[in-house]
C-alpha cells in the first residue's frame, strides 16, 4: 500500500561479512530489514552478493542484542547508565596508569567496525593510554601476507582490483577456499574460466568446489607450500623461463635469491611435498607461459609457522615471472573480515601509526604529537600474541576490547582464557554478550553496521561509505562515539560529532589517504588507496614503481622450516579448518540469522570413509571427541570426499576449535599456526 511504501527507506551500505566489500541498497521499514538490493554501480560486486550479504541481517534485531551498559558487581552483571559505566572505566584505567604505567593497558580493535572506529581505537590507545599496545585480528589471519608484500613489493595490500583478477590468463589459488570464503570473487574467477577460457590452478589440501573446477588441482602435504613454490620458481629459472627484462629493470636481489633456491630441487620437493615432479614441472610451465598471472591466497597459507615466508615465496614467484604492474597480474591476499584491511590501514597495529607510518620514526611521531597535543612513545607496543604473555607475566593489567571474541579466536584458548581471568579490569564493547564478555568488568552496547555511518576498506584497498539505515537499538552507541566518550571521561575532549570529522583528521595525518573525504565517497563512489590530495586514486599498484625508495622490487631469499605439531602415531590426523559459506567466523552474527543458521546449524568434522572405518566404523552424524596435545572438543562426523586419508577438516563456526590449537606462531608476525594441528578421534556419546 502507499502507506507501507512511504515508510520504507533505502540506504546504501556495505556488507559486514567478508573482505570482498559488496555494496548494496538495503530497504528498511523502521528496524525491519525488508530487502537487500545490489546495484550495477557497486564497484566490487555490481549486482552480485552471496547468501550472507543477502540474508544475514537478522542479528541486528536479535532478542539478545546488548541495549544498555553492564557493570560486574559481586560476580554478577547489572545494568548501568552510560555515565556510571564511563566514570568507572575512567577511574579504573587511571588507577592502572598510575600503578603500572602505559605498559599496563592494551587495546584491541575490531576489524568488523569502521575505519573511523579503528582510527579512534588507536588514538585512545596512543593518546589517552600512551602506548602502542594496540592490535586487531589481522594478527590472526592476514599479517603474514602483508609481511610477504612488505618484504618484496612494499605495499601491504592487493596489487590490483577484483576486476583485474578476472583479466588474468591464469589464476593461481593457494590455500583459499574462495568459493565459500569470498564467494563473489570466486564467481568472477569461474566466469573468467568458463567464458574467457582463462586457466584456473588450485593448490590446497582439501578438494573443495573451486579445486574440483580447476584446470590443475595440486595437493601438497600439509605445511609444505614454501617448498613447492620455491621448487617451481627454481625450475622456471633453471630453464631460463624468467622475465629477464622485468627483472633487469625493476627487481633487486637476484644473485642472493637464486643462491637461496639451491636446496629446492624437484627431487627434494617431490619427496617433501608429495607432489610428483612432472606435476611441478607442469605447474612451472603453465605459470611461466601464461600472459598474466594473479595469485590469490588466504589462511591456508598464512596460518602456519612459515606463513610470512610462504606469502613471500608467492610474491617472489610473481616477480621472477614478471607478474606485477599490469592488469591481470599480481598478489591478492584475500582479506577475511569486512574491514581487516582498513583496521590495519588506520593504525590498529603495534608498530605503525595510520597509513603504515612507523612508530619508531621520530618525524612521524612528532607529526602525531603535534596534532594530538600528547607525547607519544617511539617504541613498538605489544601485539595480540605478546599481550597474552604480558598478562600472564603480570605487566599488562587492563584491556579495552572492541568487538573481538578474544577468548575464542586466539590459538590455545585455555591459555587465553586463563589470562583474561587474571586481568584487573576488562572493558568490552559488543553487540551481544559474547564469551569474552564473561571475563569483563564493564560491557558497553555497540551499534551494528546498519546503525552507523562510516567507511570500510575492502580487500582491493577500496574505501567505501556505509550509511546509517536505522537508529542504534536501545542505548547502544556507535564505537566511534563510545571511544570518544571514554577519552572524554579521561580528560581528552576530542569533540567529534560525526565520523566524517574523524576521516578528515585521519586523512590530514596520513599520506596514504590524503585525498579521502566523505564528499568524494558519496553514494557508490569509492577510492582505492593510495589516494593523492587531489583525489586521484590507485586501482592498480606498481605500474611504474614498487613502494621502496629506489622504486625497485626485492627478491627475498627463504629457507624451509618444518611445520610444528605434525601428525604422528599418537595423534595421527592433521586437522585443517576454514569457513563455510553460510557462516562468519565464530558465528556470533550468522548463527543469529535464521536463514543462515537453519542451513548449517552446528559444526562437524569432515573425514574420509576409510578413516571413519579405521576409527571405529564411524558414520555421518556420529559423535566423536577430537583430541589434540592441548585439549579436546566434541562434535559430529561428516563423511566427505573433499578431505584425504589422514586429514580432517573442521569449520570454524560454533566450535571451540582453539582449545586444540597451540601457541606456536609465525616468527615474523606472531600469527598463530592454527593450521598446524595434529589430533586423534574416538567415538563418544552425544552431549
CB under 6 A: which stretch of 50-58, 102-110, 265-273, 374-382 binds ligand SF4? Answer: 50-58
Q: Put residue 684 in one of left, alpha, beta given phi > 0 → left and psi -120 to 50 → alpha.
A: beta
Nearest distance in Å: CB 55, ligand SF4: 10
- Please list the alpha-helical segments (H only) found in 528-622: 594-597, 609-614
334 forms part of the interface with ligand SF4 (CB under 6 A): no
Question: CA-to-CA distance for 538 and 30, rounded, in angstroms?
Answer: 38
How far is CA 142 from each of CA 150, 519, 671, rounded to the nearest angstrom?
A: 13, 31, 8
The 136-175 contact track toward ligand SF4, x by CB under 6 A, reads ----------------------------------------
CB of 399 to ligand SF4, least distance (A): 29
* Single residue of 33, 50, 227, 659 touching ligand SF4 by CB under 6 A: 50
**Which residues face 12 on adjacent strands?**
25
183 lines the binding site for ligand SF4 (CB under 6 A) = yes
Point out which span in 43-51, 98-106, 120-128, 156-164 binds ligand SF4 (CB under 6 A): 43-51
Residues 253-272 contacting ligand SF4, CB under 6 A: none
Of 45 and 640, the one with the shorter C-beta distance to ligand SF4 is: 45
Q: Does the protein bind ligand SF4 through residue 49 (CB under 6 A)?
A: yes
Cβ atoms 686, 631 nearer than 8 A: no
C-beta of residue 643 within 8 angstroms of C-beta of residue 571: no
Q: Mapping DSSP to helix (H, G, I), strand (E, B) and coil, where does residue 623 land?
A: strand
Nearest residue (CB) to ligand SF4, 139 versus 182 = 182
End-to-end CA distance of the chain: 50
Question: Is there binding between residue 337 and ligand SF4 (CB under 6 A)?
Answer: no
Q: How far is CA 288 from CA 185, 243, 244, 268, 304, in A?
A: 24, 8, 12, 21, 27
> Which residue, 20 or 80, is less far from ligand SF4 as judged by CB?
20
| Three cell numbers written together for 401 | 576490547
Nearer to ligand SF4, 51 or 281 (CB): 51
Closest CB 147 distance from ligand SF4, rounded Å? 24
Q: How far apart are CA 142 and CA 140, in angstroms?
A: 7
- The nearer residue to ligand SF4, 46 or 684, going by C-beta atoms, is 46
Helix then strand then coil, % of the chain, to nearest 5: 35, 20, 45
Least separation in angstroms between CB 187 and ligand SF4 = 9
Q: With respect to ligand SF4, which residue has the nearer C-beta, 45 or 122? A: 45
| Residue 52 binds ligand SF4, judged by CB under 6 A | yes
Least distance between ligand SF4 and beta carbon 51 (Å): 7
Continuous segment of H or E residues that includes residue 635: strand 632-639
Contact 518, 536 (CB under 8 A): no
The C-alpha atoms of residue 655 and residue 2 are separated, in whole angstroms, by 47
Considering the complex, state which of residue 44 and residue 419 has its C-beta at the smaller distance from ligand SF4.
44
3-state secondary structure 395-453: CCCEEEEECCCHHHHCCCHHHHHHHHHHCCEEEEEECECCCHHHHCCEEEEECCHHHCC
Partners of 32 in the β-ladder: 29
Work out how close the CB of 628 gets to ligand SF4 at its nearest, in angstroms, rounded to a whole number: 30
In the β-sheet with 199-203, what is the strand arrangement from edge to edge? Answer: 216-218, 199-203, 170-174, 293-297, 330-333
Our CB check for ligand SF4 shows the closer of 50 and 93 to be 50
Q: For residues 13 and 315, which CB has a smaller minimum distance to ligand SF4 in the complex?
A: 13
Using the rule CB under 6 A, give the single segment among 49-57, 161-169, 271-279, 328-336 that binds ligand SF4: 49-57
With respect to ligand SF4, which residue has the nearer C-beta, 15 or 482? 15
Quick note: the x/- pattern for ligand SF4 over 15-34, rule CB under 6 A, is x-xx-xxx------------
Which one of residues 13, 45, 199, 628 is an interface residue with ligand SF4 (CB under 6 A)? Answer: 45
Q: Which is nearer to ligand SF4, 150 or 297 (CB)?
A: 297
What are the DSSP calls for 97-142, one per residue? HHHH-GGGEEEE--SSS-HHHHHHHHHIIIIIS-S--EE-GGGGTT
Task: State yes or no: residue 36 binds ligand SF4 (CB under 6 A).
Answer: no
CB nearer to ligand SF4: give 15 or 391.
15
Q: Report if residue 340 touches ligand SF4, rule: CB under 6 A.
A: no
Q: Which is nearer to ligand SF4, 390 or 521 (CB)?
A: 521
To the nearest whole angstrom, how small is the minimum distance from the Cβ of residue 461 to ligand SF4? 15
Tell me the closest approach of the beta carbon of residue 180 to ligand SF4, in angstroms: 10
The CA-based dihedral angle spanning residues 663, 664, 665, 670, taken in that order and rounded to the nearest 10 degrees:
50
Under the binding rule (CB under 6 A), the answer on residue 53 touching ligand SF4 is yes
450 near ligand SF4 (CB under 6 A): no
Q: Which 3 state secondary structure label does DSSP give 199?
A: strand
Q: What is the total count of residues that contact ligand SF4 (CB under 6 A)?
A: 14
Q: Answer left, alpha or beta for residue 412, where phi above 0 means left and psi between -120 and 50 means alpha.
A: left
Q: Among all residues, whose Cβ is closest to ligand SF4? A: 53
DSSP alpha helices (H): ranges in 174-274?
Answer: 178-181, 183-194, 209-213, 225-238, 244-250, 254-260, 266-273
Candidates 165, 184, 580, 639: give the one binding ligand SF4 (CB under 6 A).
184
Kindly list the residues in this chain that would bind ligand SF4 in the complex (CB under 6 A): 15, 17-18, 20-22, 45, 49-50, 52-53, 182-184
Amino acid at each position: 500500500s502507499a502507506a507501507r511504501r512511504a515508510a520504507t527507506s533505502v540506504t546504501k551500505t556495505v556488507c559486514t561479512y567478508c573482505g570482498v566489500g559488496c555494496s548494496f541498497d538495503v530497504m528498511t521499514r523502521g528496524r525491519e530489514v525488508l530487502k537487500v538490493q545490489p546495484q550495477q554501480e557497486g564497484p566490487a560486486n555490481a549486482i552480485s552478493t552471496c547468501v550472507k550479504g543477502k540474508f544475514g541481517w537478522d542479528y541486528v534485531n536479535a532478542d539478545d542484542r546488548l541495549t544498555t551498559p553492564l557493570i560486574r558487581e559481586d560476580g554478577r552483571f547489572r545494568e548501568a547508565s552510560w555515565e556510571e559505566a564511563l566514570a568507572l572505566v575512567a577511574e579504573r584505567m587511571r588507577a592502572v596508569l598510575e600503578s603500572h604505567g602505559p605498559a599496563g593497558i592494551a587495546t584491541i580493535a575490531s576489524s568488523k567496525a569502521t575505519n573511523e572506529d579503528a582510527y579512534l581505537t588507536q588514538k585512545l590507545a596512543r593518546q589517552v593510554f600512551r602506548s602502542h599496545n594496540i592490535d586487531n585480528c589481522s594478527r590472526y589471519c592476514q599479517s603474514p601476507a602483508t609481511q610477504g608484500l612488505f618484504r618484496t613489493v612494499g605495499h601491504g595490500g592487493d596489487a590490483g582490483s577484483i576486476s583485474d583478477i578476472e583479466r588474468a590468463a591464469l589464476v593461481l589459488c593457494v590455500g583459499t577456499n574462495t568459493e565459500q570464503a569470498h564467494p563473489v570473487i570466486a564467481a568472477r574467477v569461474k566466469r573468467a574460466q568458463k567464458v574467457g577460457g582463462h586457466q584456473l590452478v588450485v593448490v590446497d589440501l582439501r578438494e573443495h568446489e573451486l579445486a574440483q573446477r580447476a584446470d590443475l588441482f595440486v595437493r601438497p602435504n600439509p605445511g609444505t607450500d614454501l617448498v613447492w613454490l620455491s621448487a617451481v620458481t627454481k625450475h622456471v629459472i633453471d630453464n631460463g623461463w624468467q622475465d629477464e627484462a622485468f627483472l633487469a629493470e625493476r627487481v633487486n636481489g637476484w644473485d642472493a635469491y637464486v643462491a637461496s633456491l639451491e636446496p629446492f630441487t624437484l627431487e627434494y620437493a617431490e619427496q617433501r611435498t608429495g607432489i610428483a615432479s612432472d606435476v611441478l614441472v607442469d605447474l612451472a610451465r603453465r605459470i611461466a607461459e601464461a600472459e598474466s598471472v594473479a595469485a590469490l591466497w588466504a589462511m591456508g597459507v598464512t596460518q602456519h609457522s612459515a606463513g610470512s615466508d610462504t606469502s613471500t615465496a608467492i610474491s617472489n614467484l610473481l616477480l621472477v615471472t614478471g607478474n606485477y604492474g599490469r592488469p591481470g597480474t599480481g598478489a591478492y591476499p584475500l582479506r577475511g573480515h569486512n574491514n581487516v584491511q582498513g583496521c590495519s590501514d588506520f593504525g590498529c597495529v603495534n608498530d605503525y601509526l595510520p597509513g603504515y607510518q612507523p612508530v619508531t620514526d621520530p618525524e612521524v611521531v612528532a607529526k602525531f604529537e603535534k596534532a594530538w597535543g600528547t607525547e607519544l612513545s617511539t617504541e613498538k607496543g605489544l601485539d595480540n600474541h605478546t599481550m597474552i604473555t604480558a598478562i600472564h607475566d603480570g605487566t599488562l593489567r587492563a584491556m579495552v576490547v572492541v568487538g573481538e571474541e578474544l577468548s575464542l579466536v586466539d590459538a590455545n584458548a585455555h591459555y587465553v582464557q586463563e589470562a583474561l581471568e587474571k586481568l584487573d579490569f576488562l572493558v568490552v564493547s559488543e553487540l551481544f554478550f559474547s564469551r569474552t564478555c564473561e571475563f569483563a568488568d564493564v560491557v558497553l552496547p555497540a551499534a551494528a553496521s546498519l546503525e552507523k555511518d562510516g567507511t570500510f576498506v575492502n580487500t582491493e584497498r577500496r574505501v567505501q561509505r556505509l550509511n546509517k539505515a536505522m537508529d542504534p537499538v536501545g542505548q547502544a552507541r556507535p564505537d566511534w562515539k563510545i571511544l570518544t566518550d571514554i577519552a572524554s571521561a579521561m580528560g581528552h575532549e576530542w569533540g567529534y560529532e560525526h565520523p566524517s570529522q574523524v576521516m578528515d583528521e585521519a586523512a590530514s595525518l596520513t599520506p596514504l589517504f590524503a585525498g579521502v573525504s566523505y564528499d568524494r565517497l558519496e553514494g557508490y563512489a569509492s577510492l582505492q588507496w593510495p589516494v593523492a590530495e587531489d583525489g586521484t586514486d590507485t586501482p592498480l599498484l606498481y605500474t611504474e614503481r614498487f613502494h621502496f625508495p629506489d622504486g625497485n622490487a626485492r627478491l627475498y631469499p627463504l629457507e624451509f622450516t618444518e611445520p610444528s605439531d605434525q601428525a604422528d602415531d599418537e595423534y595421527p590426523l592433521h586437522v585443517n579448518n576454514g569457513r563455510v559459506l553460510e557462516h562468519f567466523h565464530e558465528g556470533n552474527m550468522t548463527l543469529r540469522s535464521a536463514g543462515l543458521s537453519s542451513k548449517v546449524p552446528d559444526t562437524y568434522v569432515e573425514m574420509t570413509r576409510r578413516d571413519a572405518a579405521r576409527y571405529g566404523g564411524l558414520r555421518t552424524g556420529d559423535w566423536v571427541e577430537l583430541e589434540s596435545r592441548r585439549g579436546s572438543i566434541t562434535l559430529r562426523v561428516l563423511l566427505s570426499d573433499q578431505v584425504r586419508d589422514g586429514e580432517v577438516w573442521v569449520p570454524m563456526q560454533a566450535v571451540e576449535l582453539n582449545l586444540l590449537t597451540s601457541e606456536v606462531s609465525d616468527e615474523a608476525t606472531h600469527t598463530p599456526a592454527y593450521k598446524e594441528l595434529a589430533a586423534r578421534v574416538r567415538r563418544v556419546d552425544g552431549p
